[in-house]
């Protein structure tokens, strides 16, 4: 069994090394690694390709594809087209694996659970240096994006048959997961934290717009939900994001750690 790890990047020369090295550090070699770059103008591609020999020594197929795309989901679709593994996992530039044995754990979980359509876990969100673990739950997908895409390993066959819809700019991954859940595809929780991700990505920084797009998606599948409550929640989140941006980092960390009991991220 093999996993396809895909990293989508665009002008990520400051972050790409951390992501690539976390993939290279995996104890397992049961994977291939594909980087889909959107024709970066910086050194992203040069830095990524510099790891080619190390992946070759590990016995891992490593591909760097750089060409103009129509956005992150188009880049992800290009990666899906190139994938040969049994499962696809997206680890975008700036994200990194939580531990070195994640792929090994997923391969073992897939084998012991009759190779389900999806395997998923939790993610560790890093916001201004503060870590919060977000638990995955496939039974709550009708309510919203209850599984981070940084935590899910999807059947390659299903992904090739159901590429991301480019009309959705922020929540195409939610559309995919919800559609598969509604079709009663099999989901298995591996009960492990899969990856770290910095909360400065497109969907995280536009949570209000993400919720609005999720509402459109729910309607398209006939999922019943409180539309007014969703709109109210989106506005509330927008206000919270605005307030957070005005709080000094040191004060945010003090309040998060001392009052809320969170932990600070300690980089390697």
pLDDT tens for residues 152-196? 999 999 999 999 999 999 999 999 999 999 999 999 999 999 999
The predicted pLDDT at position 259 comes to 84
> pLDDT tens, 196-250?
988 764 445 577 788 889 999 999 999 998 888 878 877 887 787 788 788 898 8
What integer pLDDT is reported at residue 225 of this predicted model?
Answer: 86
Query: What predicted TM-score, i.e. pTM, was given to this entire model?
Result: 0.92
For the residues 141-157, what does the mean pLDDT come to? Answer: 95
- The pLDDT, as a whole number, for residue 266 is 62
SS (H, E, C) the chain: CCEEEEEEECCCCCCHHHHHHHHHCCCCCCEEEEEEECCCCCCHHHHHHCCHHHHHHHCCCEEEEECCCCCHHHHHHHHHHHCCCCEEEECCCCCEECCCCHHHHHHHHHHHCCCCCEEEEEEEEEECCEEEEECCCHHHCCCCCCCCHHHEEEEHHHHHHCCCCCCCCCCHHHHHHHHHHHCCCCEEEEEEEEEEEECCCHHHHCHHHHHHHHHHHHHHCCCCCCHHHHHHHHHHHHHHHHHHHHCCHHHHHHHHHHHCCCEECCCC
Tell me, what's the pLDDT at 233? 79
Tell me what pLDDT residue 148 has: 92
Domain coordinates of the chain in residue numbers? Answer: 3-264
- pLDDT tens-digit map of 15-72: 999 999 999 999 999 999 999 999 999 999 999 999 999 999 999 999 999 999 999 9
3.30.420.40, 3.90.550.10, 2.60.410.10, 3.40.50.970: which CATH number matches 3-264?
Answer: 3.90.550.10
Q: What pLDDT, on the 0 to 100 scale, is given for residue 268?
A: 46
Does the structure show a pLDDT above 60 at 97? yes
């Amino acid at each position: 069994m093999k996993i396809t790890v895909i990293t989508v990047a665009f002008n990520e020369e400051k972050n790409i090394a951390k992501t690539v090295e976390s993939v290279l550090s995996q104890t397992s070699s049961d994977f291939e690694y594909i980087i889909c770059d959107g024709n970066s103008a910086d050194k992203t591609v040069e830095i990524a390709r510099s790891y080619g020999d190390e992946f070759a020594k590990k016995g891992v197929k490593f591909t760097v594809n750089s060409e103009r795309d129509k956005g992150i989901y188009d880049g992800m679709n290009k990666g899906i087209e190139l994938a040969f593994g049994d499962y696809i996992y997206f680890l975008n530039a700036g994200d990194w694996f939580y531990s070195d044995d994640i792929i090994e754990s997923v391969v073992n979980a897939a084998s012991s659970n009759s190779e389900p359509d999806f395997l998923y876990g939790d993610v560790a969100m890093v916001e201004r240096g503060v870590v919060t673990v977000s638990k995955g739950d496939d039974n709550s997908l009708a309510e919203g994006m209850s599984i981070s895409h940084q935590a899910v390993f999807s059947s390659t066959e299903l992904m090739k048959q159901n590429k991301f819809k480019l009309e959705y700019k922020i929540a195409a991954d939610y559309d995919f997961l919800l559609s598969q859940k509604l079709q009663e595809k099999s989901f298995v929780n591996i009960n492990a934290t899969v990856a770290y991700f910095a909360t400065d990505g497109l969907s995280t920084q536009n949570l209000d717009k993400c919720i609005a797009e999720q509402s459109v998606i729910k309607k398209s599948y006939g999922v019943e939900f409180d539309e007014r409550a969703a709109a109210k929640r989106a506005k509330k989140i927008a206000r919270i994001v605005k307030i957070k941006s005005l709080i000094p980092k040191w004060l945010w960390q003090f309040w998060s750690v001392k009052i809320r009991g969170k932990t600070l991220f300690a980089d390697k």
